[in-house]
Amino acid sequence: MRRAFILLALTSIVAVGSAPAGAVGAPGSPAAAQPAAAEPAAAEPVAVDADDLTPTPPMGFNNWNATFCRAEFNESMVKSMADIFVSTGLRDAGYEYVNMDDCWARPQNGPLGSRDAQGHLVPDPVRFPNGIKAVADYVHSRGLKFGIYHDAGTKTCNGQGFDGVLGQGYVAGNRRYEQIDAQDFANWGVDLVKHDWCNVPLSQVPPCTIPTQNPPCSGPRNLKARELYRTMRDALDATGRPIVFQVATLGDPGVQPWEWAADIGAQYWRTTGDIRANYTSMSNIAKFNMTLADYQRPGRWNDADMLQVGNAREGSGTWTLTEQETHFSLWSIMASPLLIGTDLRRATPETMDILLNKDVIAVNQDPLGVQGRLVRPVTNGQYVLAKPLENGDIAVALWNDTLSEQRISTSAVEIGFPAARDVYLMKDLWSKKLSVSRGEIAATVPPHGTVVLRVKLRPGPPGRPPVE
Ligand code: GAL
C-alpha cells in the first residue's frame, strides 16, 4: 500500500485527557544538551509499504509495566534487557524490539524543560547520560531493534513526562515538532515509535457522548486524532528510515484507532486502556479486543497492550500463573503484539517458561497473519477462539472465564475444518500432549485457565482408521 505525503495543519484546540498518575521520574537535574546531530541532507521520502515492516505481530520488550517512570528506568536497564534477550534465547524465540516508554527525555516541568534552544528533545541526563543513539546502537549490536515513545499532544502522559510533538503551551499556529522529532529519531537509529494521546489540545470537538467504548462512538474527536497521527506518520516516512508506528490512544472512548490507523500507515494500535497485572484487567481487555478482529489484517494489528506476565499483582483480584498463561494464550491467539513488560533481571523460571513457549508463539507469529476469533457466542464463561494457520492447521483456545473447572468442547467443523469424516491430530501447546480425534475437540479447563490446541487434518485420504 502506498501513501501520499500530505501536509496537514491542526486548526483548533481544546484539552483532552490528563496525564494518568505515574511514579515520580528522575530528578530534573541541569542537563548537558544533547550534542546537536548534524542535519543530514533531507533524504528522499520513502513510502514504505507498511505491510513489509511487521508481517507478524511485533514482539519484544517495553519497560512501562515494570518501571513506570521510576529511576530504575535508565540506560543500564535497557541494555540489560537486550543482553538477556540474547542470553536466554528470547531473541531467537522471536522477541525483537527493545522499546523505551515515557520519561526518557528531560521532564517538561524540570528547570530546563524538555527541548534545547534548537527545539530538539533532550534525553534525561540522569537516565541516559550518553544520549539515545548510544542505547540504540547497543541494542542494534545485540541483533535487536530499538523503539521509543512520544505523544501527539503538548506533553506525554506521566506527571514527569516531556514535550509532545505540539510542544509546551501549544496554540494553533505555533511551531510544531513532528519533523524535528522524527528526524532526531531517524538519526538516533529508532526502529519503532509508540505515539501516545495525552494532553492533546483540540477545540470545538465535543467529547464523545457514549461513556463506554462498546459500542464505539465515532465523532470529530476521532477524526482529529486521525489527522494528528497521520501528521506524525508522514514525518517519520519523510526521514526515509523505515520506522514502525504504533497508535496509542489509551482507551479514549472518543477515539477508535482501529477505524483509521491502518489507513494512515500505522502498523498497530492500542484498542483499550492500560493493562494492569490482575485477571480482571487482563480479561476485560481480552473481551473487548476480540470484538475487533474484522479491523485486523496481515501487517496491521489490534494491540491488546503490553504483557503483564511475570509481574506482581496490581490492584484487586488475582494474578496466578494459570491466569498469566491465559494472558499469553489469548494475546497469541488474537495476534496481538507480544511486548514483555516485566524486568527480566528478576524473571522467575515460571515466567520464562511462559514467555518462551515456542508453540504458542508460533500461533501468534503464524505467517497467515489472521487474528483468532470466537467461533460461537460465549455461554457459561466458555470462550472458544480459532485461528487459521498458514499450513492449514487451526489453533483453538478454550478459555474458562469462571471460578470452577469446566469441560469445554467444540468440533473440527465448528473451528473451521471442512465437514468431512476425517481424523485430526492434536497437540496441547502447554502440556505438549498429543492426541487423535475424529472431530470432537474438548478439554477440562481449570478456573481462569486456557487450553490451546493445534489441530491438524491427518494427511492422506479420509476414511482410514484413526490409529494405524
Ligand atoms: C499511557 C499509555 C501507557 C504508557 C503511559 C506512559 O497513556 O497507555 O502504555 O505509555 O501512558 O506515561
Q: How far apart are CA 410 and CA 33, in angstroms?
A: 61
Q: Residue 40: pLDDT above 70?
A: no
Fill in the DSSP letter of residue 163.
B
**Element of type H or E holding 340:** strand 338-340
Protein residues with CB under 6 Å of any ligand 1 atom: 22, 64, 101-102, 149, 156-158, 196, 198, 248, 250, 274
Determine which of 146-150, 222-226, 243-247 has the lowest per-residue pLDDT on average.
Answer: 222-226
321 CA distance to ligand 1 middle (Å): 25
- Residue 359 CB neighbour total at 10 angstroms: 15
The single-letter code of the amino acid at 210 is I
> Does the predicted model carry a pTM greater than 0.75?
yes
* pLDDT value of residue 38: 44
Rounded average pLDDT over 270-296:
97
Sorted by sequence, the CB contacts under 8 Å of residue 355 that are 6+ apart come out as 90, 93, 95, 307, 309, 310, 328, 340, 347
Q: Residue 295: pLDDT above 90?
A: yes
Q: How far apart are CA 306 and CA 331, in angstroms?
A: 10
In the residue annotation, 52 being an active-site residue is answered as no
Could you report the per-residue pLDDT of 375-405, keeping only the tens digit for each? 999 999 999 999 999 999 999 999 999 999 9
68 CA distance to ligand 1 middle (Å): 9
High-pLDDT (> 70) share of the chain, %: 84
- Residue 189 CB neighbour total at 10 angstroms: 17
Contact 224, 10 (CB under 8 A): yes
Q: Residue 18: pLDDT above 90?
A: no
Mutate to test the pocket of ligand 1, among 68, 100, 196 (most ligand atoms within 8 A of CB): 196
Q: How far apart are CA 370 and CA 365, in angstroms?
A: 10
Contact 384, 375 (CB under 8 A): yes
Q: How far apart are CA 115 and CA 118, in angstroms?
A: 8
Determine which of 5-19, 120-134, 136-150, 439-453 has the lowest per-residue pLDDT on average.
Answer: 5-19
The widest CA-to-CA distance across the chain, in whole angstroms, is 77
Contact 2, 47 (CB under 8 A): yes
More confident residue, 228 or 13: 228
322 CA distance to ligand 1 middle (Å): 26
Mutate to test the pocket of ligand 1, among 100, 157, 247 (most ligand atoms within 8 A of CB): 157
Q: How far apart are CA 334 and CA 58, in angstroms?
A: 13
Determine which of 50-54, 140-144, 412-416 has the lowest per-residue pLDDT on average.
Answer: 50-54
Q: How far apart are CA 108 and CA 61, in angstroms?
A: 26
Determine which of 28-37, 240-249, 275-284 has the lowest per-residue pLDDT on average.
Answer: 28-37
Determine which of 3-12, 194-203, 250-259 has the lowest per-residue pLDDT on average.
Answer: 3-12
Using alpha carbons, list the distances in angstroms from residue 56 to 85, 305, 387: 19, 16, 14
Which is it for strands 424-428 and 450-457: parallel, antiparallel or unpaired? antiparallel
* pLDDT value of residue 389: 98
Rounded average pLDDT over 432-436:
97
Rounded average pLDDT over 78-82:
98
Rounded average pLDDT over 64-76:
98
> Which among 116, 137, 274, 428 is annotated as catalytic?
274
Q: How far apart are CA 364 and CA 283, in angstroms?
A: 18
More confident residue, 226 or 188: 188
In the residue annotation, 294 being an active-site residue is answered as no
Q: How far apart are CA 388 and CA 417, in angstroms?
A: 10
Sorted by sequence, the CB contacts under 8 Å of residue 419 that are 6+ apart come out as 413
The torsion region of residue 56 among left (phi > 0), alpha (psi -120 to 50) and beta comes to beta
Fill in the DSSP letter of residue 241.
S
* pLDDT value of residue 207: 52
pLDDT-derived band at 415 (thresholds 50, 70, 90) equals: very high
Q: How far apart are CA 405 and CA 364, in angstroms?
A: 26
Q: Residue 29: pLDDT above 50?
A: no
Burial of 463 (0-12, 13-18, 19+ CB in 10 A): exposed
High-pLDDT (> 90) share of the chain, %: 77
Burial of 169 (0-12, 13-18, 19+ CB in 10 A): exposed
196 CA distance to ligand 1 middle (Å): 7
Residue 306 alpha carbon, nearest atom of ligand 1: 9
Q: Residue 294: pLDDT above 90?
A: yes
Sorted by sequence, the CB contacts under 8 Å of residue 362 that are 6+ apart come out as none
Q: How far apart are CA 379 and CA 358, in angstroms?
A: 30
Q: How far apart are the first and last CA of the chain?
A: 49
The beta strand positions in 223-290, using DSSP E, are: 244-247, 268-270
Residue 305 alpha carbon, nearest atom of ligand 1: 9
Could you report the per-residue pLDDT of 247-281, keeping only the tens digit for each? 999 889 889 999 999 999 999 999 999 999 999 99
Determine which of 169-178, 358-367, 444-453 has the lowest per-residue pLDDT on average.
Answer: 169-178
Fill in the DSSP letter of residue 293.
G
